[in-house]
C-alpha cells in the first residue's frame, strides 16, 4: 500500500537537519575511532607494503563509494519524498523507463567489480606472489609447531635437515615436537618453546604444523596470518625488514588457554641469529 | 590383626625415625600413631635396595621456559629436566617402588597428614610423589603465575583445575590404586609430575643416589615393583623374614 502524505510541508525536508547531523556525527565518530587506534602496527616485512597499499586502497575506494552512495540516497530522499507530485514513477507507468532502471542497477555493479576486485588484484598481487609464490632459494627455514597452548619453534640444526617427527613420539615435557631420535638428521635439531630468531633482510620460510587443533600463526607487524591445520604441513613466508622484538599470536580460538598462546620473535642480523643458535642445546 | 597393628606401629616408628634424617630415601607417609603399639620390632622385616640405569645416561636437557617470561624470571640458573636423573655410577632417581602384591585384603590406617604437591619456579615439587588411597592431596601454588593442574588419571577420576599464583590450595582424594598417574600443566608444557597412589604405606621414591628402603613389612612373600616414567616397570619377588633386610636392585635401560 502506498501512502501519500497530504501535508503541504514534506516530512523529508523537515528531517533534513536531523539526517545531516546524524551523518556528520557518524562520520566524525568513525574518523575518531580510526585515529585513536593509531592505525596498523608499524610495518616490518617486505610484502607488507603491498598489503598496506591494498588496505589503504580499499579504505579510500569504499569510503568514497560509501559517501557517494549515501549522498545520492540523501539527495533522492530530499528531492522525491513527501508528495505524490515529486515521487518517482512506478514500474509500468508511462513515465517509467525500464532501460534506465537496468542501466542504473548494472553500472554500479560493474563499477564496484572493477574498483574492488580489479583494484585489489592489481594492488595486492605483489603481496600474494610473495606470500604464496616460490620461496627465495636462500630462505631461512624454520618450523613452527602449534599446540594447546604454546608455540614450539624447530630449527634443522647445522646439517640443515629437519629430523623426522611423529605425533606418537610427542611427550610434552621431554619431546614436545615428537622428534624421532633414531633419525640421524634429528640429533642436531634445535627446538625452543616460543623463542624464534630470524635474520633481517632475508626471506623466512615458515613450515607450519599443528599437533592438536586449529591454530593461526599471526604477526601483525609482518602482516602475516596463516592457519595451522592438524595433519597438514602448511607454510608461510615473508621477509623481515626491521630488527626488533615481535609477538607471535594465535588468531584461532584454540581452547581455554588460547589467550596465553604467545611466542616471541627476535629479528636481528644473520651473525646474531647464528650466535644464538650455537648457544642452543641440540635435541638429542 | 595383631600383625597388622604391629606393622603399622613399626611403619610409624621407621617413618618418623628415618624420614627426616635419611638423605637418600623417601618413605610413604607414616600411619597415624596412637593406640596401635601392640607388636615388637622383632615381628617385621624390611626391604631396601637401589634403582640403577644401564647404558649411556641421557643428557638432562635445560627446561626451556621461554614461552612464559614470568617463569623464566624465577630462575637465576636454568632448571634441568627431572624425568631422567642418573648419578655417576648409574643411580636412577625418581623411581617409584612399591609392594604390588602380597598385601591384598589388608587394611592400613590412613596418615593424618595430607600428601603435598607444590608448584615452585614453574616446576612440580616433588617430581614423583607417593600417597595413599583415601589420603588427602593438597596442591599448592607458590608461583606468582597461574597454573593449570590437569591429571591424566586412568583409574581414578581425572581433574583439571586452574590455580592462580599464590592462590588457594586445591585438594584431591583418590579412591583407587594407580601407579603412576601423570599430572600436567596445560599452560606450561614442560611441567609434569607423577603420583603413585597405593592402598598401603609400603612405598618409596628413589632420590639422587637411587636408594630406597621400605621398612615395617610383616614376614611373607611379596612382589616388589618399581616404575620409572620413561623406562617402565620392573618386578621382583621377595621374601621378608622377621628382623631380616631384603636387599634388591632394579636395573633399567633404554628400550
Are the C-beta atoms of B224 and B97 separated by less than 8 Å?
yes
Mean pLDDT of A133-162: 95
Residue B227 confidence (pLDDT) above 90: yes
Mean pLDDT of B41-49: 84
Residue B8 confidence (pLDDT) above 60: no
Region of poorest pLDDT, from A100-104, A133-137, A266-270, B171-175: A100-104
Q: Are A107 and A216 found together in one domain?
A: no
Cell 542501466 found at: A103
Contacts of A22 (CB under 8 A, 6+ apart): none
Is residue A208 domain-resident? Answer: yes
Mean pLDDT of A70-94: 80
3-state secondary structure of B114: coil
Residue span of the structural domain in which A70 resides: 11-132
Is residue A3 domain-resident? Answer: no
In DSSP terms, which residues pair with B47 in a beta bridge? B214, B246
> Which residue from B minimizes the CA distance to A196?
B66
What is the distance between the alpha carbons of residues A228 and A233, in angstroms, rounded to a whole number?
Answer: 8
Average pLDDT over chain B reads 85
* Residue among A103, A135, A169, A138 at smallest CA distance from A237: A135
Residue B40 confidence (pLDDT) above 50: no
What is the distance between the alpha carbons of residues A69 and A16, in angstroms, rounded to a whole number?
Answer: 17
Residue B33 confidence (pLDDT) above 60: no
Mean pLDDT of B208-218: 94
Instruction: With CB atoms and an 8 Å threshold, state whether B186 touches A148.
Output: yes
Q: Are A18 and A87 found together in one domain?
A: yes
A265: domain CATH number is 2.60.40.420
Chain A residues with CB under 8 Å of B187 CB are 149, 257, 260
What does B173-198 look like in DSSP terms, one character per residue? Answer: E--S-EEEEEEEESSSTT-EEEEEEE
Q: Are A207 and A116 found together in one domain?
A: no
Residue A5 to residues A78, A216, A227, B59, Cα–Cα distance (Å): 14, 57, 57, 89
Chain B residues with CB under 8 Å of A192 CB are 64, 66
Last residue of a domain, one of A132, A156, A183: A132
**Residue A163's pLDDT band (cuts 50, 70, 90):** very high
Instruction: With CB atoms and an 8 Å threshold, state whether B189 touches A192.
Output: no
Q: Are A213 and A147 found together in one domain?
A: yes
Residue B16 confidence (pLDDT) above 60: no
Provide the number of structural domains found in chain A: 2
Residue span of the structural domain in which B81 resides: 2-253
Chain B residues with CB under 8 Å of A150 CB are 67, 189
Q: Are A188 and A254 found together in one domain?
A: yes
Instruction: With CB atoms and an 8 Å threshold, state whether B83 touches A174.
Output: yes
Last residue of a domain, one of A132, A148, A180: A132
CA distance A210 to chain B (A): 15
pLDDT at B41: 55
Q: Are A148 and A273 found together in one domain?
A: yes
Q: In what order do the strands lie in the sheet with B211-217?
A: B211-217, B45-54, B245-253
Average pLDDT over chain A reads 89
Is residue A190 domain-resident? Answer: yes
Higher pLDDT, B253 or A81: B253
Residue B15 confidence (pLDDT) above 90: no
Instruction: With CB atoms and an 8 Å threshold, state whether B187 touches A173.
Output: no
Window 131-150 of B: residues touching A by CB (8 A cutoff) are 148
The 10s digit of each residue's pLDDT in B155-205 is 999 999 999 998 899 999 999 999 999 999 988 999 999 999 999 999 999
**Residue A214's pLDDT band (cuts 50, 70, 90):** very high
What does DSSP assign to residue A211?
A: S
Chain A residues with CB under 8 Å of B191 CB are 173
Q: For chain B, give the percent of residues with pLDDT over 70.
A: 84
B131: domain CATH number is 2.60.40.420
Last residue of a domain, one of A116, A132, A148: A132
Is residue A25 domain-resident? Answer: yes
Residue A226 confidence (pLDDT) above 90: yes
Task: Say which of A174, A256, A263 has its CB closest to residue B67.
Answer: A263
> Which residue from B minimizes the CA distance to A247?
B67
Q: Are A185 and A94 found together in one domain?
A: no
Interface check B187 vs A, CB under 8 A: yes
Chain A residues with CB under 8 Å of B61 CB are 174, 281
Provide the number of structural domains found in chain B: 1
* φ, ψ dihedrals at A162, nearest 5°: -70, 130
Residue A128 confidence (pLDDT) above 50: yes
Q: In what order do the strands lie in the sheet with B115-120?
A: B123-125, B115-120, B136-139, B170-173
The 10s digit of each residue's pLDDT in A243-282 is 999 999 999 999 988 998 999 999 999 999 999 999 999 9
Residue B237 confidence (pLDDT) above 90: yes
Instruction: With CB atoms and an 8 Å threshold, state whether B186 touches A194.
Output: no
Is residue A32 domain-resident? Answer: yes
Q: Are A272 and A146 found together in one domain?
A: yes
Q: Are A161 and A107 found together in one domain?
A: no
Amino acid at each position: 500500500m502506498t501512502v501519500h502524505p497530504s501535508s503541504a510541508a514534506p516530512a523529508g525536508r523537515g528531517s533534513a537537519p536531523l539526517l545531516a547531523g546524524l551523518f556528520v556525527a557518524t562520520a566524525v565518530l568513525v574518523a575518531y575511532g580510526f585515529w585513536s587506534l593509531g592505525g596498523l602496527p608499524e610495518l616490518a616485512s617486505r610484502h607488507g607494503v603491498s598489503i598496506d597499499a591494498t588496505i589503504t586502497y580499499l579504505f579510500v575506494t569504499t569510503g568514497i563509494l560509501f559517501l557517494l552512495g549515501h549522498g545520492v540516497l540523501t539527495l533522492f530522499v530530499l528531492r522525491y519524498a513527501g508528495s505524490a507530485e515529486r515521487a518517482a514513477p512506478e514500474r509500468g507507468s508511462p513515465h517509467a523507463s525500464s532501460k534506465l532502471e537496468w542501466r542504473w542497477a548494472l553500472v554500479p555493479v560493474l563499477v564496484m567489480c572493477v574498483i574492488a576486485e580489479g583494484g585489489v588484484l592489481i594492488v595486492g598481487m605483489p603481496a600474494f606472489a610473495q606470500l604464496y609464490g616460490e620461496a627465495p632459494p636462500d630462505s631461512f627455514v624454520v618450523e613452527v609447531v602449534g599446540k594447546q597452548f604454546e608455540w614450539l619453534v624447530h630449527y634443522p640444526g647445522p646439517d640443515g635437515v629437519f629430523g623426522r617427527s611423529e605425533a606418537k613420539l610427542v611427550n610434552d615435557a621431554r619431546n614436545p615436537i615428537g622428534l624421532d631420535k633414531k633419525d640421524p638428521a634429528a640429533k642436531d635439531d634445535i627446538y625452543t618453546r616460543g623463542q624464534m630468531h630470524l635474520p633481517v633482510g632475508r626471506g623466512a620460510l615458515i613450515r607450519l604444523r599443528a599437533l592438536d587443533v586449529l591454530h593461526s600463526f599471526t604477526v601483525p607487524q609482518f602482516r602475516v596470518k596463516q592457519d595451522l591445520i592438524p595433519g597438514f604441513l602448511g607454510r608461510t613466508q615473508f621477509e623481515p625488514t626491521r630488527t626488533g622484538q615481535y609477538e607471535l599470536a594465535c588468531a584461532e580460538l584454540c581452547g581455554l588457554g588460547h589467550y596465553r598462546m604467545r611466542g616471541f620473535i627476535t629479528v636481528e642480523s644473520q651473525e646474531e641469529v647464528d650466535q644464538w643458535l650455537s648457544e642452543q642445546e641440540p635435541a638429542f | 590383626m595383631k600383625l597388622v597393628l604391629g606393622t603399622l606401629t613399626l611403619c610409624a616408628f621407621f617413618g618418623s625415625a628415618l624420614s627426616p634424617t635419611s638423605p637418600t630415601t623417601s618413605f610413604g607417609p607414616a600411619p597415624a600413631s596412637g593406640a596401635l603399639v601392640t607388636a615388637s620390632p622383632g615381628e617385621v622385616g624390611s626391604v631396601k635396595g637401589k634403582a640403577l640405569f644401564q647404558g649411556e645416561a641421557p643428557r638432562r636437557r635445560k627446561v626451556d621456559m621461554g614461552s612464559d617470561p614470568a617463569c623464566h624470571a624465577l630462575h637465576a640458573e636454568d632448571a634441568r629436566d627431572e624425568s631422567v636423573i642418573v648419578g655417576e655410577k648409574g643411580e636412577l632417581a625418581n623411581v617409584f617402588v612399591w609392594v604390588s602384591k602380597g598385601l591384598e585384603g589388608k587394611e592400613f590406617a590412613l596418615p593424618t597428614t595430607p600428601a603435598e604437591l607444590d608448584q615452585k619456579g614453574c616446576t612440580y615439587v616433588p617430581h614423583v610423589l607417593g600417597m595413599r588411597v583415601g589420603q588427602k592431596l593438597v596442591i599448592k601454588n607458590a608461583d606468582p603465575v597461574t597454573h593449570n593442574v590437569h591429571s591424566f588419571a586412568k583409574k581414578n577420576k581425572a581433574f583439571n583445575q586452574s590455580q592462580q599464583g599464590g592462590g588457594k590450595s586445591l585438594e584431591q582424594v583418590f579412591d583407587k590404586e594407580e601407579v603412576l598417574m601423570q599430572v600436567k600443566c596445560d599452560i606450561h608444557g614442560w611441567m609434569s609430575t607423577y603420583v603413585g597412589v597405593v592402598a598401603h604405606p609400603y612405598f618409596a621414591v628413589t632420590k639422587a643416589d637411587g636408594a630406597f628402603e621400605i621398612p615395617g613389612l610383616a614376614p611373607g612373600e611379596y612382589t616388589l615393583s618399581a616404575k620409572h616414567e620413561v623406562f617402565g616397570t620392573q618386578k621382583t619377588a621377595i621374601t621378608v623374614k622377621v628382623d631380616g633386610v631384603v636387599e634388591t636392585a632394579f636395573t633399567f635401560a633404554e628400550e
